[in-house]
Amino acid sequence: MRSYGSSLEALNRWVDDVARLTEPGSVRWCDGSDAEYAELVQTMLASGDLLPLNEETNPRSYLHRSNPSDVARVEHLTFVCTPEEEEAGPNNHWMAPAEAHAKIDALFAGAMRGRTMYVIPYCMGPIDSPLSRCGVEITDSPYVVANMRIMTRMGAPALARIEREGQFVKGLHSTGDLDPERRFIMHFPEELSIKSIGSGYGGNALLGKKCHALRIASHQARREGWLAEHMLIVGIENPQGEKHYIAAAFPSACGKTNLAMLIPTEGYRKAGWKVWTVGDDICWMTPGEDGRLWAINPEAGYFGVAPGTGANTNPTALATLGRDAIFTNVAVTADARPWWEGLGEGEPVTDWQGRPFDIANGPAAHPNSRFTVSAKQCPSWAPESEDAAGVPISAIVFGGRRPSLVPLVFEAKDWAHGVLVGAAMGSETTAAATGAVGVLRRDSMAMKPFCGYNFADYFAHWLSFDKPGAKLPRIFHVNWFRKDADGRFMWPGYGENLRVLDWMIQRVAGKAEGVETPIGVVPAQGELNAEGLSLAPGALDELLQVDVEGWTEELNAIGLYLDGFGARMPERLKAERLRVSKALEAAVERRAANVA
């Protein structure tokens, strides 16, 4: 065992306690070095945990196949363990801490026999940023170690920061026996700790990701006065060289990575617009001395969804994946290249389970198959990603998959209205979580699976940032997924989305008037750049139309949703919903009077 040092005594004691419980064959403290990573890769190649891919087309890249029962987040087995159930809220599955520890520790007993126990010190965010937070994950999975090295600032520098600060999030993970009946992901916010067993899948096993960076960090953020959000961060540089940073929240597999790596269309590119990728999934925002919100991406890599990523949808991601990547549950071509639906080239010969590809067995790549790759390999990677101060946020964008009703873009009236817009956000479900696909569910701020405490308190925390001296971002809502009567998408999306971001930046700069509607401000005629845009006649007007009757029903549904969080729901949010409802009712009455 490692000898105790004064500042690291608590860490060492915890590691020793875990070793006694799990009984590993050996304990290894990870230093994050290149040599260590190379050794881990060779170990996994020898065991079959990794399979080599084509060294010419995908150098130093590998395939991992998870157990077929272990391919997505398991929200029904994910618990927030607070002393009082009300603290976790109806948005979380709750278990009393003592009961949770007893239940999961019984599964951890002897779980690492014959395995190596890895101790991974890591930092979420730039190693020298005051906005960053550290953690230590203990795991028996070399696959987890390799992914954590890509996804975090891991190893000796993180350990040195932990020694200086004396505080870290404790994460304990074991793949166990991968039995779905013996699988749990437990969070203990008051203890700043996580315990996960029975899964090797990313979000369940890479504890720095959703578990720490969102569920535990959201609790830390509430206590310390900042925000931990499920948001991308993208930098937009206009022809004048002015940069605006936008944070955007969409549920998983709804285009976050595509927007984070957006490529300007030819017209915008020739005009001098540039896009910079700060982060594709998680955003930590803290009020600065200037009153603005400053943000970091706590991650150092991308753990993205592979299917749908192709030359036509996200060429930047494809370029990022050209080397030094780990692919999980994708298919393979005859010449050992990774393949997935939407890639646009090649043919699979082996599916994600290692079987000869047969369309009768379903998709070649699992719909939630993933890639892990360093953010610095991204052609649009923003050097500001490493700035200790973070980047200032000009706008916050909410969005989801809504085939009808919700306009292409609208801006909230003010911060309180923006919080309501985020709280009310709904989207069709995707393959990123287990359960039915294509069902509308409310997913406030895209945080419903990830907020580590009661949603009503979370909304109150958001509202608390609206105070004298604050220079808060404008809040917008987008919907790239509106469909016409024939079920076809009306908006082309992808690079064309920059047209919408352009309008947002004009609003931030005071250069676009917009048109006020009961639900917010939409672009006025001619404000949204449509030059060269191929749309059906009248489509843009329809995309920006506000159906007041339909929105009246929507506000009623939103009210029922918010009421579900009980007495802790902020009165200010309820009053804001009532304000919008009355504005809609007045618009309906005016329309009826005009018709009469």
Annotated binding site for substrate: 73, 201-203, 252, 368-370
Helix axes 142-151, 34-47, angle to 10 degrees: 140
Calculate the CA 242 to chain-centre distance.
27
Please answer whether residues 591 and 548 qualify as being in contact, where contact means their C-beta atoms are separated by less than 8 angstroms. yes
| CA 544/CA 468 separation, integer angstroms | 33
Helix axes 548-563, 415-423, angle to 10 degrees: 80
Of 254, 283, 378, 451, which one is the catalytic site residue? Answer: 254
Which residues belong to the annotated binding site?
73, 201-203, 210, 230, 252-258, 281, 368-370, 401, 494-497
Please answer whether residues 238 and 301 qualify as being in contact, where contact means their C-beta atoms are separated by less than 8 angstroms. no
CB atoms within 10 A of CB 385: 23
Helix axes 571-595, 415-423, angle to 10 degrees: 90
Element (H, E) at 171: strand 169-174
Helix axes 571-595, 548-563, angle to 10 degrees: 160
Sign of the Cα torsion 201, 207, 208, 214 reads: positive
Please answer whether residues 124 and 217 qualify as being in contact, where contact means their C-beta atoms are separated by less than 8 angstroms. yes
SS3 of 397-443: the string is: EEECCCCCCCCCEEECCCHHHHHHHHHCCEEECCCCECCCCCCEEEC
Which residues belong to the annotated binding site for GTP?
253-258, 370, 401, 494-497
Residue 93, class by beta-carbon neighbours within 10 Å (0-12 exposed, 13-18 middle, 19+ buried)? Answer: middle
Which residues belong to the annotated binding site for Mn(2+)?
210, 230, 281
Q: Which residue type is seen at 238?
A: N
CA angle 437, 441, 442 (to 5 degrees): 150
Verify whether residue 254 is a known catalytic residue: yes
Catalytic residues: 254
